[in-house]
A and B are shown apart, each in its own frame.
Chain A
Amino acid sequence: MSQDIFPLKGKRAIVTGAAVGLGKAYASALANQGVHLALCDIRPELDELASQLREHTAVEVFAWQGDVSDPELVRHVVDGAMEQLEGIDILINNAGVWGASQADDDLEKSLFDYDTIVGTNLKGPYLFGRAVIPLMIEQGSGGDIINIATDHMVTCGTPDNVCPKLPSCPSHWAEPPRPTSGGSAMDLYDASKWGLNGFLYAWAKYLRPHNIRVNAFCMGATDSHMLRSFHNYNPSEEEVSSWMRAEDNARVLVELLREGPDGRNAQNMNFCIGRPVQLEPPNPIRYILETELAQSQ
């Protein structure tokens, strides 16, 4: 809607976990929009993506390899972005890991899982957010922060005539969302993603006067490195064909960013299989009063 008012060309974005899957799709889509990039990933394949983007697009691309739960890596990326790109307009907290963990795991395994899963999925976004926010505020030109979460925490409110594949969907818009798809065997993953709500609402409220929006994508099954790893990297064609495409989600990301500072804010946007991957009308924000997001606050 606001494509001409808020062009993305020339803006500068950090994308974490950019080497594969959703992160790669986000980075590529942003580069195609003329957004300069500061990328990081724990995987060495990141260099390949960075070279490709430099070759095929007109944007500057910088890349760092490392772990988002490591404060030093975070400083390298954020300080590097400031130095090389002279500013940061967009932060995509995408890096995430999955691991099976459950209530009766032993303590040793659990503390290891805590460091990797909570470290990557919750501490990583915290560190990147807190490193970027003071710089965005000082820049004074607004910005966008997007955290990538899961449909285990926020579920689709789309009626079943829109997503017929899910029998538990509501039959009309006024009904509550379908039950959580969070199970019993990913407790630390689910906790780490639920925890992102703490940042979503607090940051959105705090940053509204600075024209910085904070939103989250609650992702259902998407063809990605992470999801393929669930299936031992050998999913059936039928399985894969039911998944969402990372490129479609990246297209929605671009649309969201193009809304500009008066666009939706503090939203958990749900994407789940069987329904169109598109920018839907904003949902009511239930966990804070919407009046608290008024510009004048």
Chain B
Amino acid sequence: MSKEIPSLKGKVAIVSGAAQGIGLACAKLLHERGMRVLAFDTNPAIQNQDVLEPRVADVGRREDVESVIAQALQLGEIALLVNNAATWKITPVDSPWEQVLADWHFIMDTNLRGLLMLSRSVIPHLRANGFGHIINMSTYYVLPAKSPGTNNSQTDLYNASKWALNGFTDAWSKHLAPDNIMVNGMAMGAVATPMLANLFPKQTIPPAQATMLLKPEQIAQQMWDIIHSGRSGENFGAWVGEDVTLGTEPPGHQKITGLTQR
């Protein structure tokens, strides 16, 4: 790429939802590549990741977000935010009213409001440094369908929370471009993670299916490649059964929508 990407070595990365799955794989990769990784999660298992800078914190709670930022600033210069923490839940369209109200907060307080709080808190520091990256973890639901089952009819709130991130990725990439801050979304298909395993009996993905799924490490590597691509304002797809690559950079609007035809 034409623009030189400053080295991330020794700089600070913040990864939300880092106790397992994609978040953990990203945190480990960033650590291996020499970043100081503030890895937080509501799950206390995060504390076992002692090569990282682990912290028990909830992205949906303002005081937790503030304490994460304070710790990150003590570690050094923040250069990367991986907005990975998310909740997922079956939210049937004909649920009773009390459930309707509770489900809104269960999904949105983390996936949208929490992500907003963490990002708003990090962005001034990236701007001050004149450089940085933000990765918004999304879903392949926001890219054109290649198979049945996308935009699951049983998870309307989860779907909405991820679609909404398009607004952030698009607007932030434009607003922050002059500050050399790149903002991208990652739109992956089914990845072999504990979140997915919870859908199966005994919380175990059957081996035959597990071999087909994307691996968290593939997503982490794709994230690393995105950061070094110089590209911004784009939803990068990753598909089960296909190589995980960045593909060629699409023009304009297609970066977010993935649409190549009307």
Which A residues lie at the B interface, using CB under 8 A? 71, 75, 102-107, 110-111, 114, 118, 122-123, 126-127, 130-131, 133-134, 137, 152-155, 157, 170, 173-180, 182-199, 201-203, 205-207, 283-284, 286-289, 291-292
Contact = CB atoms under 8 A, between A and B. Distances in A.
B106 interface: no
B187 to A, nearest CB: 11
B167 A187 contact: yes
Interface string B143-157: 111011011111111
B228 interface: no
B221 interface: no
B147 A289 contact: yes
Contact of A292 (B127, B148, B161, B167): B148
Given A287-B151, A289-B150, 14 more contacts: A102-B175, A111-B62, A118-B108, A134-B94, A153-B166, A153-B167, A154-B257, A180-B252, A192-B167, A195-B112, A197-B142, A202-B159, A205-B151, A288-B145
B259 A107 contact: no
A182 B254 CA distance: 13
Contacts of B165: 191, 194
A187 B171 contact: yes
B93 A203 contact: yes
A161 to B, nearest CB: 15
B261 A110 contact: no
12 contacts: A133-B93, A176-B260, A184-B172, A185-B171, A187-B175, A190-B170, A198-B151, A202-B155, A203-B153, A203-B156, A287-B145, A289-B147
A190 B256 CA distance: 13
A122 to B, nearest CB: 7
A203 B166 CA distance: 20
B244 interface: no
A188 B166 CA distance: 10
Contacts of A206: 93, 153-154, 156
Contact of A198 (B62, B123, B161, B258): B161
A155 B262 CA distance: 10
Contact of B123 (A104, A118, A174): A104
A201 B159 contact: yes
B252 A179 contact: yes
A180 B253 contact: yes
Nearest to B95: A130
Nearest to A195: B164
A6 B192 CA distance: 48
Contacts of A71: 97, 101
B171 A202 contact: no
B151 A195 contact: no
Contacts of B159: 197-199, 201-202
* Residues of A contacting B: mostly: helix
Interface stretch (B3-11, B18-26, B114-122): B114-122
Given A157-B262, A176-B261, A179-B252, A105 B161 contact: no
Interface string B54-96: 0000000010000000000000000000000000000001110
Contacts of B261: 174-176, 284
Contacts of B143: 287
A183 B262 contact: no
B171 A103 contact: yes
Contacts of B258: 286
A177 B171 contact: no
A118 B108 CA distance: 10
Nearest to B121: A107
Interface in B209-256: 251-254, 256
Contacts of A174: 261-262
B174 interface: yes
Contacts of A179: 252-253
B151 A110 contact: no
Contacts of B174: 183-184
B259 A176 contact: yes
A118 to B, nearest CB: 7
B131 interface: no
A277 B151 CA distance: 29
A9 to B, nearest CB: 28
Contact of B97 (A131, A175, A283, A292): A131
Contact of B175 (A154, A184, A194, A292): A184
B40 interface: no
Contacts of A173: 262
Given A202-B159, A289-B145, A130 B100 contact: yes
B188 to A, nearest CB: 15
